[in-house]
């Protein structure tokens, strides 16, 4: 066992995000036994506890996950309560449109549609109260399901999601890109107006 294996596990936990990792996944990726994987993750947990770090590695059922420490919760709350008037990035707008039309949806499903990692855009949307955790999927790892919030409806002047414009059923790629660009620009303009 080496320090590099512990570093690899740390990186794996980071990229796994809120879905976490099970021991068999760690063992498979590192090509080690389950006992060796357990020993390595325990060493990583000990390192986080012994040092003055902002994160810890916790176990929920069979899943290991990297999380912030409870004792710092007051600081995170203060940060989240700060007025945030910055506009949404293109990535956040794309993620918001996907969640809006496909909810309930997991982060992995959003990433499959976008074709890129989407953890940061989803975190931004949660911090702006536009989306929230609405449950967990009945699949391995029980990933978080996201959906829009009442604040989302208020932002865009909607009473219900039924008032959203329907998505065209059959469109070619060029038309789809034009429609997506128009949709996102309108989304951005509307959001900018509501934040003034």
Helix (H) or strand (E) holding 43: helix 34-50
Amino acid 77: pLDDT: 76
- Comparing 149 with 158, the larger pLDDT belongs to 149
Whole-number Å distance between alpha carbons of 132 and 153: 13
Which region, left, alpha or beta, applies to residue 45 given φ > 0 means left and ψ of -120 to 50 means alpha?
Answer: alpha
Whole-number Å distance between alpha carbons of 175 and 16: 34
Chain length of the chain: 196
**Which residues are registered as beta bridge partners of 68?**
55
Q: What is the per-residue pLDDT across 88-101, written as a single tens digit (0 to 9) for each?
A: 788 888 899 899 99
| Domains of the chain as residue ranges with CATH | 3-71 (1.10.10.10), 83-194 (1.10.10.10)
Q: What is the per-residue pLDDT across 56-103, written as a single tens digit (0 to 9) for each?
A: 999 988 899 988 888 888 887 777 666 554 577 888 888 998 999 999
Answer yes or no: is pLDDT of 118 > 80.
Answer: yes
Answer yes or no: is pLDDT of 117 > 50.
Answer: yes
- With contact defined as beta carbons under 8 Å apart, do 30 and 13 qualify? no
- Comparing 175 with 22, the larger pLDDT belongs to 22
Answer yes or no: is pLDDT of 173 > 60.
Answer: no
């Amino acid at each position: 066992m080496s320090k590099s294996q512990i570093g690899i596990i740390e990186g794996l936990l980071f990229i796994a995000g809120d879905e976490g990792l099970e021991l068999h996944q760690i063992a498979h990726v590192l090509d080690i036994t389950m006992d060796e994987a357990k020993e390595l993750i325990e060493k990583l947990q000990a390192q986080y506890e012994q040092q003055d770090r902002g994160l810890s590695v916790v176990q929920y059922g069979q899943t290991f996950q990297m999380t912030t420490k409870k004792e710092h919760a007051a600081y995170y709350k203060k940060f989240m309560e700060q007025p945030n008037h910055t506009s949404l990035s293109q990535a956040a707008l794309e993620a918001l449109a996907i969640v809006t039309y496909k909810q309930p949806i997991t982060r992995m499903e959003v990433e499959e549609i976008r074709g890129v990692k989407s953890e940061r855009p989803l975190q931004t949307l949660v911090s702006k109260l536009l989306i929230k955790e609405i449950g967990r999927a009945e699949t391995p790892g029980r990933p978080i399901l996201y959906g829009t919030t009442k604040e989302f409806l208020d932002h865009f002047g909607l009473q219900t999601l039924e008032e959203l414009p329907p998505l065209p059923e059959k469109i070619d790629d060029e038309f789809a890109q034009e429609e997506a660009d128009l949709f996102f620009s309108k989304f951005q303009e509307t959001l900018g107006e509501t934040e003034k």
